[in-house]
Amino acid sequence: MCEIEAMLRNSLADEQKELFKEYADLWGLILGDTAYDSFRSGFKYGAGLAFDTFMTN
């Protein structure tokens, strides 16, 4: 993937490189937010499951 990205960057003009960099940065933010939301949801589910398992009669 890095090799393909390097080839793409080498073939772009300066303005296009800047746009691509912004796109890549925003995509990274979206992936980070998605990973955080998935972790948070899974943690809540697991904590609730553990609570129900140990705190029910």
Contacts of 29 (CB under 8 A, 6+ apart): none
Q: What is the pLDDT of residue 56?
A: 73
Upper half-sphere CA count for residue 38 (Cβ side, 13 Å) = 6
Cα–Cα nearest to 20, from 36, 32, 4: 4
Query: What is the pTM (predicted TM-score) of this model?
Result: 0.61
- If one counts the domains in the chain, the total is 1
Tens digit of each residue's pLDDT, the chain (57 residues):
689 888 888 899 999 999 999 998 999 999 999 999 999 999 999 999 999 998 876
Q: Which domain holds residue 51?
A: 2-55
